[in-house]
């Protein structure tokens, strides 16, 4: 019997909530899987903050251009209608509110929409923020895809983030292996439960009060 | 006739003094001016402040410059990568300074320097530790941080095609910070994979106008950091 | 498949409401979206705030829109030209408002709106009457004025070549304010002299990425204000 | 016997002071004549603030492109190596200090370097500033070419401008029909007298103290 969503199913569920024609920026990790699950009849255009719209899948060895990378420094390709631009234009798209949806992974997300996904704050950690703080402030809808808990079972959906914030009050919706959860003015709200998951399990694995689906 | 061509990478970087602030184009290995960086290692200027999105890869290019002890301080958005060992080791040993700037703020601060804008406001990093010590201000009910321009003495840039006036085009995402850095440095030094005659780049297709460029060196068949690393190479 | 093509200039401007703020590309007659402006006259929206470098030429295009009484306020840098009579007459009669903004500040305010920068500092206009009422501040011993972003509900733009995603190229100095206005308007409406299939513009040559464009109408063989004026034409 | 400089000679004298390789922005009127007097062995690149570097002379009827205008809205041509860009980039060149020399006409210029060349301040005047205020603040060297006096004989070089300022303390050097005049911390300083002009005439036609050539 199935219990919860796989990584692929989480990505597909997130893709389901992205409208046709959206300009989308995808974080590294599970968010990258979104490209494989674009619903029939829809088209998303992918933005990579290092200066491209219309990013396509990884190249074959023959197709590879050593200058054509995504923000995660992986080789990618260009789709018809792609365009290149410099970093100030790229972050104008982000900061200026032109990107419709950003899908991020996270370490923690709080019931007030705070997100912490760039640093553990450990004394020997090398702080590396990249474009995360620009994305969470600039993009209209911030979606998060994440396992509901850490590998050791700690909640990733929490009352307040203990790690240093990437942004305050910015997350709209969270796609976990157990549920789709909205961040509302009243805190976490389950929108949908994954197959075989009951609400009590979600509440138990969430580090803050959460409301059942309506 | 104006001609900004310079005969070699060695001559192009020969007047970079100790203590200079140097912007280096590129995002990871893409668009990195490896030959200019290696020339700067040979030249030997020390106590540099370097501005780049990252801190180099493997032990070539920017990472090699850092590894050679020539860099006092890095200003960047993401000083980690799976292949960067040089910077983390020096940083943990307290032998190099680091200023972390969000990527979009870094780009905009560099552009502002080139555009004569001493300061601007951005929502990026509001409410985070990177806002500490920064002025904040509300506009239309939302909080923003004030950020200052970021200038440099020199910029080291890789482009695809250049003409003798310094008009430039780039290759794909090799463009990244380079056009902004050309604007923000007192002296902009460019390595061009192709150098063509004046008038041979369509005026509509030029990305960086020559007014932002001081020296152009042709470097045909440039090396690429990812290839050097795959081959196990290091520069020292 | 995303397709931003719109069948006619009339449909493209049909939802511009009374009271809207409308940016209009062009510098004098160069790059002026005459067909879109004439469609806006036919459409009849009134009480508009219009942002353009100038105030139109002769009695066609923007000047005709102003002459038709549809514009409450102009925001521009240079509201005069040898062939502009319409605006000066209305202005002297107190029937139209004017905000004069230095040209570079106008461009930068529009870019700032598109880039999510609510305010920035500029040395332009320090010590002049155009600094009155503006905040000033010193950086590194020099005085600057604070300027706010300038947004619009709609932008009317003329481009040379577009694809169905809204990727644009421009012709020569017809480019001017247009790429900035595409960024700064909630809804950007473009007339393209050539509409080509997706993938038919080199990704390195696109000036305005489609993300900044909402509607594209093909207008082959567009009229030009200087020709209309030379022919003694007026639009009303 | 020659007395003073013609418009062409004023432009040639200004061109003489512009270094090889300079990026130059020319105002409307006499400054436009500078292009005809580039000294042998030098090359200037002309910037027009509506988005072009490498501006060439007026076109023939056949060459004319209706979109290719200069800042004065006159048709121009492109030279090999020309480049087009948008207005924010164009004024980044100006404001960011990348243009080496700007040659302007003027209504008044004061001994402290103030310049007034955009408005008479008359009540019925339509204020039209264009790019003048950006140019005088952003360009490193502001040169002025002007008749020494108005048509009615009033000094244009004055103690303080009576017209609204374009910029304060920005002018470096003035080329008039009578003399080349520097603006120094101690006020006007004649650098060179035009043929047949003596210093007393210059002093008499200048609305502020002026020092003779060294």
Tell whether C119 is covered by a domain: no
Are residues B34 and B60 in contact, defined by beta-carbon separation less than 8 angstroms?
Answer: yes
- Could you tell me the mean pLDDT of each successive run of 10 residues in chain D, 214 residues long? 90 98 95 96 97 97 95 95 98 98 97 95 88 97 98 97 97 98 98 97 98 94
Tell whether D2 is covered by a domain: no
Tell whether B203 is covered by a domain: yes
Closest CA to A117 of A207, A31, A205: A31
Tell whether C120 is covered by a domain: no
Measured at the CA of B113, the angle between CA B109 and CA B115, to 5 degrees, comes to: 110
Query: Which residues 161-200 on chain B approach chain C with CB closer than 8 angstroms?
Result: 169-172
Tell whether B113 is covered by a domain: no
- Kindly report the nearest CA distance between residue C124 and chain B, in angstroms: 10
Tell whether D191 is covered by a domain: yes
Domain that holds residue B178: 17-101+150-230
pLDDT at B200 over 70: yes
Q: Which residues of B touch D43 (CB under 8 A)?
A: 1-2
In the structure encoding, which two tokens stand for residue A194, read together?
């994954």
Tell whether C125 is covered by a domain: no
Pairing assessment for the beta strands A210-211 and D210-211 based on DSSP bridges = unpaired
| Partner-chain residue, chosen from D43, D53, D97, that has the shortest CB–CB distance to B209 | D53
| Number of Cβ within a 10 Å radius of residue A189 | 18
Are residues A99 and A93 in contact, defined by beta-carbon separation less than 8 angstroms?
Answer: yes
Domain count, chain A: 1
| Partner-chain residue, chosen from C118, C171, C204, that has the shortest CB–CB distance to B140 | C118
pLDDT at B97 over 80: yes
Q: Which subunits count as partners of chain A given 3+ CB pairs below 8 Å?
A: B, C
pLDDT at C118 over 90: yes
Closest CA to D74 of C30, B179, A100: C30
Q: Which residues of C touch A91 (CB under 8 A)?
A: 115
Tell whether C117 is covered by a domain: no
Q: Give me the long-range contacts of B83-91 (CB less than 8 A, separation at least 24).
A: B83/B57, B83/B58, B83/B229, B84/B54, B84/B55, B84/B56, B84/B57, B84/B58, B85/B59, B86/B55, B86/B56, B86/B59, B87/A126, B87/B55, B87/B56, B87/B63, B88/A126, B90/B66, B91/A126
Q: Quote the mean pLDDT of chain B.
A: 97
pTM for the whole structure? 0.98
pLDDT at B84 over 80: no
Q: Which residues of C touch B115 (CB under 8 A)?
A: 108
Pairing assessment for the beta strands C97-100 and C119-122 based on DSSP bridges = unpaired
| Partner-chain residue, chosen from D45, D84, D99, that has the shortest CB–CB distance to B204 | D84
Look up the CATH number of the domain holding residue B187: 3.40.1080.10
pLDDT at B81 over 80: no
Tell whether C133 is covered by a domain: no
Q: Each residue of B17-62: pLDDT tens digit?
A: 999 999 999 999 999 999 999 999 999 999 999 999 999 999 999 9
What whole-number distance in Å separates Cα of residue D23 and Cα of residue D15?
12
pLDDT of residue A166: 98
Domain count, chain B: 1
pLDDT of residue A1: 54
pLDDT of residue A78: 97
Average pLDDT of the residues in B94-109: 97
What whole-number distance in Å separates Cα of residue A38 and Cα of residue A26?
13
What whole-number distance in Å separates Cα of residue D43 and Cα of residue D39?
8
Q: Each residue of C69-108: pLDDT tens digit?
A: 999 999 999 998 767 789 999 999 999 999 999 999 999 9
Residue in the block written with tokens 């700690």: A154
Average pLDDT of the residues in C14-29: 97
Look up the CATH number of the domain holding residue D46: 3.40.1080.10
Domain that holds residue A30: 7-211
Tell whether D192 is covered by a domain: yes
Q: Each residue of A136-163: pLDDT tens digit?
A: 999 999 999 999 999 999 999 999 999 9
Cβ within 8 Å, pair C165-A43: no
pLDDT-derived band at B73 (thresholds 50, 70, 90) equals very high
Q: Please name the residue of chain B whose CA is at the shortest distance from the CA of residue D92.
A: B115
The neighbouring-strand residues paired with A56 are: A77
Cβ within 8 Å, pair B209-D99: no
Q: Which entry of A40, A43, A49, A192 is annotated as an active-site residue? A: A49
What whole-number distance in Å separates Cα of residue B161 and Cα of residue C166?
27
Tell whether A176 is covered by a domain: yes
Cβ within 8 Å, pair C211-A45: yes
Closest CA to B145 of B198, B101, B93: B101
Tell whether D109 is covered by a domain: yes
Measured at the CA of D18, the angle between CA D13 and CA D24, to 5 degrees, comes to: 115
pLDDT of residue A214: 86
User: How many CA atoms within 13 Å lie on the side-chain side of D112?
Assistant: 9
Tell whether A1 is covered by a domain: no
D49 annotated active-site: yes
């Amino acid at each position: 019997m199935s219990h919860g969503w796989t990584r692929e199913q989480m990505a597909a569920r997130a893709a389901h909530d992205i409208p046709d024609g959206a300009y989308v920026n995808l974080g590294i990790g599970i968010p990258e899987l979104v490209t494989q699950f674009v619903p029939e009849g829809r088209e998303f255009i992918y933005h990579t903050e290092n200066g491209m719209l219309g990013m396509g899948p990884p190249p074959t060895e023959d197709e590879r251009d050593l200058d054509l990378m995504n923000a995660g420094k992986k080789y990618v390709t260009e789709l018809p209608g792609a365009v290149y631009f410099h970093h100030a234009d790229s972050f104008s798209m982000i900061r200026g509110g032109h990107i419709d949806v950003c899908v991020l992974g996270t370490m923690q997300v709080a019931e007030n929409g705070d997100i912490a996904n760039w640093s553990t704050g450990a004394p020997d950690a090398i702080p590396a923020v990249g474009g995360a703080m620009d994305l969470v402030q600039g993009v209209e809808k911030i979606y998060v895809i994440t396992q509901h808990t850490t590998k050791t079972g700690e909640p990733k959906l929490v009352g307040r983030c203990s790690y240093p914030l990437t942004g305050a009050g910015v997350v709209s919706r969270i796609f976990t292996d157990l549920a789709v959860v909205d961040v509302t003015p009243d805190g976490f709200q389950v929108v949908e439960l994954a197959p075989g998951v009951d609400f009590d399990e979600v509440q138990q694995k969430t580090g803050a009060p959460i409301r059942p689906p309506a | 006739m104006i001609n900004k061509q310079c005969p070699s990478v060695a001559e192009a970087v020969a007047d970079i003094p100790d203590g200079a602030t140097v912007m280096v184009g590129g995002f990871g290995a893409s668009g990195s001016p490896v030959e200019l960086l290696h020339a700067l290692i040979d030249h030997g200027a020390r106590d540099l402040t370097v501005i780049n999105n990252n801190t180099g890869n493997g032990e070539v290019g920017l990472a090699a410059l850092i590894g050679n002890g020539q860099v006092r301080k890095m200003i960047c958005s993401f000083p980690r990568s799976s292949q960067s060992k040089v910077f983390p080791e020096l940083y943990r040993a307290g032998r190099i300074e680091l200023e972390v700037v969000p990527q979009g703020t870094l780009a905009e601060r560099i552009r502002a320097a080139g555009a004569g804008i001493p300061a601007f406001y951005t929502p990026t990093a509001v409410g985070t530790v990177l806002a500490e010590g920064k002025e904040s201000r509300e506009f239309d009910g939302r909080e923003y941080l004030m950020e200052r321009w970021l200038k440099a003495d020199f910029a080291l840039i890789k482009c695809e095609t250049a003409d003798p006036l310094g008009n430039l085009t780039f290759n794909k995402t090799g463009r990244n910070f380079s056009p902004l850095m050309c604007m923000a440095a007192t002296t902009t030094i460019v390595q061009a994979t192709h150098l063509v005659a004046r008038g041979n780049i369509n005026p509509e297709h030029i990305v960086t106008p020559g007014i932002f460029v001081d020296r152009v060196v042709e470097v045909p068949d440039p090396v690429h950091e990812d290839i050097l690393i795959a081959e196990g190479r290091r520069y020292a």
